[in-house]
Structure 1
Amino acid sequence: MAVTREQESADRILVAATELVAESGIRATTMRGVADRAGVSRAWLYRLYPDKSALVGTVLMRLVEESWSSARAELDGVATLARKLAVGVQIGRRAYDDPGATLMRLRTREPDEYAAFVGAGVQGVVPDLAAFWREYLEESAAAGEISGELDLAEASEWVARNLISLGTMHSATIDPDDLDALEAHLARFVMPALR
């Protein structure tokens, strides 16, 4: 199926908007700047996106989905929950270190704008991460790896908070870059709590 000129222009607009948001942030990104970078008229841009909120919201939601999809793909072949959690800590650590981690930078530098464009209630890392891990806890509960009687919403939030701590706080006893040591720690302390 051939790509139409309209679709090609729409794709260029999203690429341009993503680049500008990544380079300059939400506040500094303008509709004029996006149109200029994409090589389209502002009239065409406004035909597709009636305002900056619609455009930046679309960009941010695409980035969120790409981030979660990439993490899910990395976790797909991992057998146990303890290993998945350990890999998850390392994914999170890479997200903070990667200069292309646009979402993490925007959440930190422009939290109010981020919340306004993505939507209220999703600006916090903990709710997002808890929602992400809940499906893995559900799978583990169904497989009998953890208790099926857990309050999965509460357990998912607890897991998210633990993973954030392991990935971001210095430790004298745990090297978060050592996958096997991290998995052993999670197997000793987190997994018994979930059983």
Structure 2
Amino acid sequence: MKPDALEGALRRPFAEPASDRVLDAAREAFEDVGIQRTTMRDIARRAGLGRATVYRRYPDRDAVVAAVLLREVRVFLAWLDERIDHIEDPAEQIAECFVAVVTGLRGHSLLNRLLTLEPAAALPAVTVDAGAVLAVARGYFAAKLREHQQAGRLRSFDPEPAAEVFVRLAHSMLLSPPGCIPADDDARSRAFARAHLVPVVTG
């Protein structure tokens, strides 16, 4: 899915109940056995629906996978909003966003399960084929910076490159072995973000 298409899909309302049952069932199957071993028959059985009902909503497994990914992104961003939207100080919001993103992604059950079950398939999805999701993440963080600019809490600058730095660092920490940047201690991660990431993002 291209970045513009994914961003447009993120703005649409959540799916209706029958579609949610399909996506719930698909997510469960993906966590249990991986995407490659999940069939449309498996998804229909887990959802308690006929295959024809499933196919009317999603023409093939790839469409189901895309829909599950889209919903995971939406749920994650909604969760992130709850964690950071009440913070008015831009430096503190950036630090808290960094902590939330790193811990949230490292603890994401579906993502980690797929990286374990199907690394050959999952790794391209979160690296070379992750352009759309990374673009959405960059747009999300840039929008937060613009809100602070409009409120007079940040100076005027182009937030897109700053958001790119933030997203790329969080993405690297998800995929790379631990280094000197703390990722397993919220207080230390927050202190790191305040000292090193906030000055880069805000200039």
TM range (shorter): 0.7 to 0.9
Aligned residue number for residue 92 of structure 1 = 101
Q: Does 1:157 align with 2:161?
A: no
Residue 115 of structure 1 and its aligned partner are, at CA, apart by 8.5
Alignment of 1:42-121 (within 5 A): 42-98=51-107, 100-103=108-111, 105-106=113-114, 109=119, 110-112=122-124, 121=131
Q: Does 1:145 align with 2:153?
A: yes
The amino acid across from 1:38 in the alignment is: A
The amino acid across from 2:70 in the alignment is: M
TM-score, scaled relative to structure 1: 0.73
State the distance in 1 between where 2:114 and 2:77 align.
Answer: 16
- Aligned-pair identity (%): 28
Residues 105-150 of structure 1 show CA distances to partners (whole Å, capped at 9, x for unaligned) of 547831445789xx87325xx54432221111111222333321x2
Q: Does 1:23 align with 2:32?
A: yes
Q: Which runs of 5+ in 2 are unaligned?
A: 1-15
The amino acid across from 1:131 in the alignment is: G
State the distance in 2 between where 1:143 and 1:68 align.
Answer: 22
Aligned residue number for residue 122 of structure 1 = 132
Residue 86 of structure 1 and its aligned partner are, at CA, apart by 1.8
Residue 166 of structure 1 and its aligned partner are, at CA, apart by 7.1
Residue 51 of structure 1 and its aligned partner are, at CA, apart by 1.3
Structure with the greater alpha carbon radius of gyration: 1
Change (3 A) 1:103 1:82: same
The amino acid across from 1:129 in the alignment is: A
State the distance in 1 between where 2:99 and 2:89 align.
Answer: 16
* Contact 1:60–1:103 (Cα < 8 Å) also in 2: no
Change (3 A) 1:192 1:89: closer
Residue 188 of structure 1 and its aligned partner are, at CA, apart by 4.2
State the distance in 1 between where 2:173 and 2:95 align.
Answer: 9
* Contact 1:26–1:114 (Cα < 8 Å) also in 2: no
Change (3 A) 1:145 1:189: farther
The amino acid across from 1:25 in the alignment is: G
State the distance in 2 between where 1:73 and 1:157 align.
Answer: 22
State the distance in 2 between where 1:21 and 1:8 align.
Answer: 20
State the distance in 2 between where 1:52 and 1:155 align.
Answer: 36
* Contact 1:89–1:163 (Cα < 8 Å) also in 2: yes
State the distance in 2 between where 1:143 and 1:79 align.
Answer: 10
Aligned residue number for residue 39 of structure 1 = 48
Task: State how many pairs are aligned.
Answer: 181
Q: Does 1:13 align with 2:22?
A: yes
State the distance in 2 between where 1:29 and 1:191 align.
Answer: 43
* Contact 1:35–1:45 (Cα < 8 Å) also in 2: yes
The amino acid across from 1:84 in the alignment is: Q
